[in-house]
Amino acid sequence: MSVEPPRPLVAGNWKMNGLKAQTAVLTEILAGYVPALRSRVDLAICPPATLVGRFTEMAAGSAIGIGGQDCHAKAAGAFTGDLSAEMLADMGATYVLVGHSERRQYHGETDSEVAAKALAAHRAGLVAIVCIGETKDEREAGKTLDVVRTQLAGSVPDGSTSQNLIVAYEPVWAIGTGLTPTASDVEEVHAVIRASLGALVGAEEQGRVRILYGGSVKPSNAAELMAVPNVNGALVGGASLVAADFLGIANAYHA
């Protein structure tokens, strides 16, 4: 029996960008998220932690979700500088990124640590956006599919469902470089992710989990990428800091 494709999501990862003045960008996005667009695609913004509370207040009632960029695996404790998933939820967040390649690379996060953070997100009632992807060296060595399978299996915790899990495939070599894999490359990887989800969430949920593509997504290539089978939206970096670009990507889902 065929499963209806998941409703698409375009999520913006602002990374370590954004001061109070950048609330104007969210104001523009809110104004541009008109009913016709809202009927076709979900939107979310993951600003720096300093803006999560402010953004959730601004976005209240708009259907735009706000998320954190990371969380600690514990609910509370002596972890100076960290934020728990419960703290993000308390500020009104509904999503949290875990396992982004920059966290894996610069902070040495392992698959098991990512899984623990995703489990913490579920504990707090947040949707975990679990990020996976290969480096340039791994791709050139022909290891892309093995890396993706291994990271996915190690990073998705027990109890994951289409309601609390989103997977984001971001080839590390494409993030912020202007380079993107071909549509056929993306299709191959997303097909492997979809197939691998069966063992992690069960056959009934397998087709319902949203799989996002990320890595130099912009308005000029969004329509091609979003049309690829098993691509259920985008995780957008730099382009999400510009309202017109972010909305332009979302409008790849036209009527």
Q: If you average pLDDT over residues 155-177, what whole number do you get?
A: 95
User: How far, in Å, CA of 46 to CA of 83, rounded?
Assistant: 14
Annotated catalytic residues are 100, 170
Residue pLDDT, tens place only, 43-75: 999 999 999 999 999 999 999 999 999 999 999
User: How far, in Å, CA of 165 to CA of 76, rounded?
Assistant: 22
Please give the C-alpha separations between residue 139 and each of 142, 185, 189, 226, in angstroms, as whole numbers: 5, 11, 11, 22
User: How far, in Å, CA of 215 to CA of 166, rounded?
Assistant: 16
Q: If you average pLDDT over residues 196-203, what whole number do you get?
A: 97
235 and 225 in contact (C-beta within 8 Å)? Answer: no
Predicted TM-score (pTM) above 0.85:
yes
pLDDT at res. 4: 85
31 and 66 in contact (C-beta within 8 Å)? Answer: no
Look at residue 255 and tell me whether its pLDDT is greater than 60: no
Which range among 91-100, 171-180, 187-196 shows the weakest confidence by mean pLDDT? 171-180
Tokens of 59: 């976005």
159 and 119 in contact (C-beta within 8 Å)? Answer: yes
Best CATH choice for the domain 9-250 from the list 3.30.565.10, 3.30.70.20, 3.20.20.70, 3.40.50.970: 3.20.20.70
| Percent of the chain residues past pLDDT 70, beyond the cut | 99
Residue pLDDT, tens place only, 32-42: 999 999 999 99
Give me the DSSP letters along the chain: ---PPPPPEEEEE--S---GGGHHHHHHHHHH--HHHHTT-EEEEE--HHHHHHHHHHHTTSS-EEEES--BSSSSSS-TT--BHHHHHHTT--EEEES-HHHHHHS---HHHHHHHHHHHHHTTPEEEEEE---HHHHHTT-HHHHHHHHHHHHSPTT--TTTEEEEE--GGGTTTS----HHHHHHHHHHHHHHHHHHH-HHHHTTSEEEEESS--HHHHHHHHTSTT--EEEESGGGGSHHHHHHHHTTS--
Look at residue 1 and tell me whether its pLDDT is greater than 70: no
